[in-house]
Amino acid sequence: MAQFNETELTAAVVKSFEQTPNPRAKFLLQELVKSLHDYVRRTDLTFAEWEYAIDFLTRTGQKCSDIRQEFILLSDVLGVSMLVDAVNHRDRDGATETTVLGPFYVGEHKVTPHGTDISAKLEGERMFVQSRVTDLAGRPLANVPVDVWHADGDGFYDSQKPSFATEGASSRARFITDADGRFFFRTILPCSYPIPTDGPVGEMIMQTRRHPMRPAHVHFLVNAPGYEPLITHVFIGGDKYLDSDVVFGVKDELVAQVETRSDAAMPDGTKATGPWHLMTYDFHLKPGEGLAPKPLGAKVAEPA
């Protein structure tokens, strides 16, 4: 009869995965067992703490739906998402920096004409966003789908609001780059916002006296065939949370100095009704493979 002490148990569980056909799956499972067992030994984990953890993870799963991913949020606030991002993007070679996808990429972004106000129904300071997608040599990449999404002036994504089901997307669209790699649109200036605090992850953040804020940003997902998918944000320069993002997602290169303008018209000729903001930020893609990840639990349109 097999009987194990604390360390023999780890070796036995590791060995139990020895016949796993996929070598990578075998490696990942064995390393996971080693790290988990090590954690239990180092912390002298009690039964009550183990039960708390099981309950926490159960509630995390129960909070997930087609339009909410509490596990991604957990990964984000524990810095795991940014660590996965870091180990997978070690050599940028001048390509635009990457950051977390976040839980609000729900897919189904609708192709939208350049210049559209994607926040037309929302109150807020108006902003014009102009951008160009190029390769590492600065050559334009035409016909590339770029998904864009950001929070409203109260810090909520459209998918967090009950109206999403009936009214559809807001502050969320797909643009296709023109022959010169350009795309542009109008929207509102996003503000800093808290991650959702009405679930187990938010509960953890509040109970541990962390703050739940993310600095203001716009999300971009650029998906060009023959290039690495680019999942990133552009942050609004000057935001007070740039140094303490709850998901550790800020990189200096991703902070844009958004200008305040008083010109009567925006760059595409749209008449301004008052002062407005101009965000200019270009994306440089690295040759590579792969489609950007689809949001879990959600359907997403394939790139054109």
Side-chain-side CA neighbours of 52 within 13 Å: the count stands at 6
| Residue 219 known to be catalytic | yes
| Residue 281 known to be catalytic | no
| Residue 214 known to be catalytic | yes
Structure tokens that stand for 107 in this block: 């897919």
Q: Which one of the listed residues 68, 105, 150, 157 is annotated catalytic?
A: 157
| Size of residue set near ligand BEZ by CB under 6 A | 9
Binding mask 62-101 for ligand BEZ (x = CB under 6 A): -----------x--x-----------------------x-
Q: Shortest CA distance to 36 belongs to which of 59, 69, 9?
A: 9
Of 7-15, 101-109, 116-124, 202-210, the segment contacting Fe ion by CB under 5 A is 101-109
* Least distance (Å) between residue 183 CB and ligand BEZ: 20
Closer to ligand BEZ by CB, 102 or 145: give it: 102
Q: Which one of the listed residues 132, 150, 214, 284 is annotated catalytic?
A: 214
Closer to ligand BEZ by CB, 205 or 285: give it: 205
Closer to Fe ion by CB, 104 or 227: give it: 104
* Least distance (Å) between residue 199 CB and Fe ion: 16
Closer to ligand BEZ by CB, 62 or 197: give it: 197
Residue at shortest CB range from ligand BEZ: 102
Residues 210-269 contacting ligand BEZ, CB under 6 A: 214, 247
Write out the residues near ligand BEZ by the rule CB under 6 A. Answer: 73, 76, 100, 102-104, 195, 214, 247
Tell me which residues are annotated as active site: 157, 193, 214, 217, 219
